[in-house]
Amino acid sequence: MDSRSLRKAELRRGSIARGCGVAPRRLRARARVRLSGLRAPSARISLLVALAACSSGGVEDRTPGDTPPPLAGTSAFVVTTDFQTGSFAVFPVLQPGAVAKNVERLHSDAVARVHGGLVYVVNRLGGDNVQALDPAAGYATRWQCSVDNGSNPHDIAFAAPDKAYVTRYERATLLIVDPTAGTDCARFVRGTIDLAALADGDGLPEMDQAVVIDGKLYVTLQRLDRRNFFRPSDRSTIAVIDVATDALVGAIDLTGTNPFTETAGLVPDPATGKLVVNEVGELGRLDDGGVERVDPAAMRAEGFFVTEQDLGGNVTDVVTIDDQHAYAILLDEAARSRVVRFDPAARRVTNTLAAGDEFLVDVALAPDRATLYLTDRTLKRPGVRRFAIADDAELAPSPIDTGLPPFDVVFVAGP
């Protein structure tokens, strides 16, 4: 592991110098890469200082940006950030030139989910709230409610119009919320579910992604050890909760550790109904992870269908098309990212679509299932890139400029 090149990349972006400029979760991800290759205690200490220094803040003034075009057909909603300032860009998928940039401020560390015609922005550590945007009203904020300072929300999953669950990375309790509570947020928090019983030795289970399927809530628990630099503990698991009673009814132990599907969420494969989970283990090792399917109904992890060794990198995001056709973002030992096409049946890489020495964050399949979107944060040409699923060809010679560099992309259906 060449930790120096990683540090150089960070310094180039100014993240170390700026202290809190780095999204803490990202820093942690890099920390795991770096620490596994480092022997020097001082480096570990400075990293922990950086993490501690980033645990507060979050008030961001608003400056007006572009006005989004009228909603027509499917739009791409892109969370953007330079890790100091966050915002979003919007464009119709059929008219990517009509991009509205820097529309409103978001927290600098945020991901988006779409549900019931609204965009829910999960403003993570330092923001510590959920923000509902209404695409039909020019993406105006309908409400923005706290999930507790320093709790670091990571995902929101919906059970009913008035009931959703928010995972909190810095807490042992999952939050039950009412998305219909209104702008004053008075009735927003409905309760909590204690997952401490499933935590590793440090008492926090590192709850991450969540989804509701057939009356059950599934929550990935990374179970990283904070006393050992966020290294994976003995196992990672998926907590299963009955949404009628909010009782913890089981846990599905994963084949590997450290499930890492942060921007994509935990989405069932439309063909099989199974969850596709990528598990990176330690980012500094390329022999301890892979991608597996988890059968939610049978509560069973099916084992890696492709491994880090097969693909030559940690799989930090994955999109499956069919049995022979899938895409992944791979992160190698030198912290270089690549977007590859791979054949899950043959368990091998068949094409490389993009590469960069910056962290490529998110690949997402457009609703037409014909186009792959990539948030490319490379310094020279940041932007959203699109590739045809049919032949992997890039759809335009230049990335779509989103103002601030893109982080997470989701799709909003038109009226």
Query: Within 306-325, which residues bind Ca ion (CB under 5 A)?
Result: 314
CB of 213 to Ca ion, least distance (A): 25
Options 32-40, 68-76, 145-153, 288-296: segment touching Ca ion (CB under 5 A): 288-296
Please, which residue, 127 or 284, has the CB nearer to Ca ion? 284
Burial of 359 from C-beta contacts in 10 A (0-12 / 13-18 / 19+): buried
Query: Within 203-242, which residues bind Ca ion (CB under 5 A)?
Result: 204
Checking 307-312 for CB contacts under 8 A at 24+ apart, the result is 307/347, 308/280, 308/281, 310/342, 310/347, 310/348, 311/340, 311/342, 311/348, 311/349, 312/286, 312/349
Concatenated DSSP letters of 332-382: -TTS-EEEEEEETTTTEEEEEEEEESS---EEEE-TTSSEEEEEE--SSS-
CB of 232 to Ca ion, least distance (A): 9
Please, which residue, 31 or 204, has the CB nearer to Ca ion? 204
Question: By CB under 5 A, is residue 289 in contact with Ca ion?
Answer: yes
Please, which residue, 128 or 206, has the CB nearer to Ca ion? 206
Are 31 and 1 within 8 A, CB to CB?
no
CB of 311 to Ca ion, least distance (A): 11
Please, which residue, 32 or 385, has the CB nearer to Ca ion? 32
Please, which residue, 10 or 288, has the CB nearer to Ca ion? 288
- From CA 415, how far away is CA 412, in angstroms rounded? 10
Please, which residue, 289 or 383, has the CB nearer to Ca ion? 289
Options 90-98, 109-117, 157-165, 195-203: segment touching Ca ion (CB under 5 A): 195-203
C-alpha angle 203-207-211 in degrees, rounded to nearest 5? 150
C-alpha angle 374-383-65 in degrees, rounded to nearest 5? 125
CB of 259 to Ca ion, least distance (A): 12
Out of 105, 115, 142, 285, point to the residue binding Ca ion (CB under 5 A).
Answer: 285
CB of 307 to Ca ion, least distance (A): 10
- CA end-to-end span of the chain: 49
Please, which residue, 332 or 408, has the CB nearer to Ca ion? 332
Our measurement of the distance from residue 246's CA atom to the centroid of its chain's CA atoms, rounded to an integer in Å, reads: 25
Residues that bind Ca ion (CB under 5 A): 200, 202, 204, 280-281, 285, 288-289, 314
